[in-house]
Amino acid sequence: MNIAMFKRLALLTLGFVAGSSQAQLATNLFIDTKAMSLGNAVTADPVGIMSIHFNPAGLTKLEGRQVQFSVQNIYLKAEYDFKVPDHYNGDGQLLNIKNDQIFGEDDEAREKSGYKASGSASAAAYIPGHGILPLDFLPLLSVPTAGLSIQPEGSRFTFANAVYAPMVAGFAKADDDPGRYQAKKVSMQRFAYFSPSFGYKVTDEFAVGASFLFNHHAVALEQDLRAPNILIAVAEQLQDAFGCFDTETGEPTGNDPLVPLIALCGGNIGPYDDIGTLSLEMSETLSPSFNLGFLWEPKDWFAWGATYQSGSRVNLKGTYHLEYTDDFSNFFRKFQSTIFGAIGGAIFQLPSGNKTESGLVSAEQVFPQHFQTGIKLRFFDDFQINYDLGWTDYDQWDSLLIEFDRPVSFLSAAKIMAPSLVTDTTLSQPLGFRSVWSHAFGFAYDLNSRVQLRAGYEPRETSIPDDRRSIMAPLGFANMYSLGMGYQWDKDSVVDLSIAFLESKETILADSQEDSDSAIFTNSSDSLNRNCLTCTVTSAYPGLDVNTKLTIASFGITYRTKF
């Protein structure tokens, strides 16, 4: 009866790894100040030393020896609200409006709110050796970068190196936030700690370049777990029928009429009760990748650029820890002590009632390859337009595999329901992410010989399909708007400033109550609110309408000078 619950528990881990990728939204963000101010349309418009990332051929524009320092200050907030659908009539398959963790414990308060609840998440960072650090005290995530370049006198080569984060993303929620069942804390970051690069000027008009990145890749999670499954609801109904717990105090009554054949009153369980907390940390110290770039400038008013950023197969390794609630562990400990419980537990390899499980875990994840090309056009000497077109290969995220160093009880139970996805020590999850193309536009105006004003617009497509949307990664289509300026401080120094704003909103409606288990649900998400008996998904909020909103604002400053 509890196998489906364990299958959900197992797949929560996979849903986390998929969601925390941040998908297309993280591509090229918060890496360079000039790039942000121009909507990241800079493949044909070199951005200084961070051309290492955007187009290594652009390094040839740096003369002599130069050093660059930059910081991006990022404000991030994810908001979401849950609502009982208007069409709900009290006969929903899984939906229970007496959902204490979402709508509160008081019947009057729930009715007054209209069975609505909301929550939010702020920025968080992963600190190796410490874990996930919520930034509640100062809701800004500062991402510093630094680099240097050397162009020997008379040489066609320019050499460079930089320390920067190709991707950084993290959320943290309060302990009682209704969204804690999809990552209470989550972080994923990729940090390039060594990036030897070069640009080579083939002719006066054409240049090539390459970067070789040595990256540290980390993933971390803390998540409360529950199992909103109709089978668990049946178990709860049986407990109510047997009078296992006092209806007012919730204390055990001592009733368990089927003992010693089978025990169902060892602990108070239900589809909306917490069953434990999962903590997970994985990392890869050396994850290499490379960038290739081309830059063609045949005219003063026209330039074309292209860059290829290689993918990388990341072998993540780390630890996991599962701490179950007293009710959950006590239920199975007493269940296993009975005649049919011992037989069923042995056949289906159900938990023995241990309070904790921990061990080593590993996962193979693909950091997707990316291609981008663009042009730069200048008009009347003072005006400039940049246009870029980029593609990210998220088709590689067809599925994910996680391996544990020992048999895990919830995997052993889940494999009976899904032998093609789960074994005693591994689990696999289809993802179905899609590769997408995105546009980017940049505009610049030379106010005078020292000041350039900039603006950017980037409509960012999402690689997450509709049936995989979640509050863990609320990343639908997003528009990014940006402003900035470049200031020639003196003949050797440049200062760049940028501000940017990005917002993504999604409405994910619940399935209608008339849909059968085999129907094709067009509204809901397998990773959020799918409402069916046999769905092998991580739906922590079945039957609820969900609205999500992700807001990101950033302020960046860069200083580059010769030395």
Q: Is the pLDDT of residue 458 over 70?
A: yes
Q: Per-residue pLDDT tens for 197-222?
A: 999 999 999 999 999 999 999 989 89
State the pLDDT at residue 157: 97
CATH class of 3-229+271-562: mainly beta
What share of the chain has pLDDT > 90, as a percent? 41
Domain range annotation of the chain: 3-229+271-562
For the residues 460-472, what does the mean pLDDT come to? Answer: 84
Q: Which contiguous run of DSSP H or E holds residue 87?
A: none
Contact (CB, 8 A) for 481 and 498: no
Contact (CB, 8 A) for 438 and 460: yes
State the pLDDT at residue 21: 42
Whether omega for the bond prior to residue 474 falls within 30 degrees of 0, making it cis, is: no
Q: Is the pLDDT of residue 471 over 50?
A: yes
For the residues 546-551, what does the mean pLDDT come to? Answer: 92
Whether the pTM exceeds 0.75: the reply is yes
Q: Per-residue pLDDT tens for 398-433?
A: 777 788 888 776 666 566 656 667 777 887 766 778
CA atoms 35, 37, 40, 44: torsion sign: negative
Q: 259: which residues sit within 8 A by CB, 6+ positions away? A: 338
Instruction: Give the model's confidence band at 1: pLDDT under 50 very low, under 70 low, under 90 confident, else very high.
Output: very low
Higher pLDDT residue, 135 or 294?
294
State the pLDDT at residue 226: 78
Contact (CB, 8 A) for 422 and 10: yes
Q: Is the pLDDT of residue 16 over 50?
A: no
**C-alpha span between 347 and 345 (Å, rounded):** 6
DSSP string covering 181-231: TS-SEEEEEEEEEE--EEEEESSSSEEEEEEEEEEEEEEEEEEEE----HH
Q: Is the pLDDT of residue 20 over 50?
A: no
Instruction: Give the model's confidence band at 182: pLDDT under 50 very low, under 70 low, under 90 confident, else very high.
Output: confident
